[in-house]
Amino acid sequence: MSVSTAWILHLHSEHTYPIFHPTLLATIGWLATLTEDGCNYAIIEGAMVTEMTTNPDMPFLEVGFNRYREASLNDDGTWAIDYYQLCKYYNEDIVNIDGVWKFSKLVSFLALVLAGAAVLLIWFSSCFIFSRNTWKWIGCELLTATVLKLLSYSWLATSMCRSNTCSISYGAKADIVACVLWFISGVLVLLRYPNPKLANPPTSTNATTSEPPALEMPDIT
């Protein structure tokens, strides 16, 4: 193997190793949020269930920021969520889409956009060398997405949940996973910059090849 090839491979490994864990964690967190279907954020029980379905026997609904899913009666007489059933849009004449609801939808959307941008950049960093400022920006994006996603839990304080009983379902649990992974990934990104500098490149074992001078990548900060 030539000196230049060995140096390139060594540089690539030195640059790639610090970004592996934050890239993996951030990607899993982002994919976790994408597994939500828009109507599985929480379970609601109370008078609102009857008002929305006109079925006094239905004990609960699975609800989300945009739509809801009705429970189905099984053959054994128990109620359960049938995930093959299509979600329904809210009737705003019955459901009060208040300011807290709109705020939660907004911050949840912004969190998804910021985290998606950070994941895209962090994947690009495995092929391209970013400056320290760009690398810090990725970490800040992930931490900001974490805060925004946490703020989206204010949806549980909407007027619908205040007058009924709301408990978290798959969607809210997936967001918890995303928040934890984004936070860890953001901290890892801010703590360690994948420095591309290499002061002592590998030397050739071929005696006929003269040893090149030490190479150092320019500081692009």
Q: What is the pLDDT of residues 48-63, one digit of tens each?
A: 999 998 888 999 999 9
Q: Look-up: residue for tokens 């208040």?
A: 98
pLDDT class for 84, splitting at 50, 70, 90? Answer: confident
Paired tokens of 202:
């590998």
Q: What is the pLDDT of residues 137-157, one digit of tens each?
A: 888 999 999 999 999 999 999
Are the C-beta atoms of residues 126 and 16 closer than 8 Å to each other? yes
Most confident of 68-77, 81-90, 153-162: 153-162
- Greatest Cα-to-Cα distance within the chain, rounded to the nearest angstrom: 89
Amino acid at 50: T
- What pTM value is reported for the model? 0.76
How far is it, in rounded angstroms, from Cα 88 to Cα 69?
6
How far is it, in rounded angstroms, from Cα 102 to Cα 46?
22
**199 or 176: which carries more pLDDT confidence?**
176
> What mean pLDDT value characterizes the chain?
81
Burial of 181 (0-12, 13-18, 19+ CB in 10 A): buried
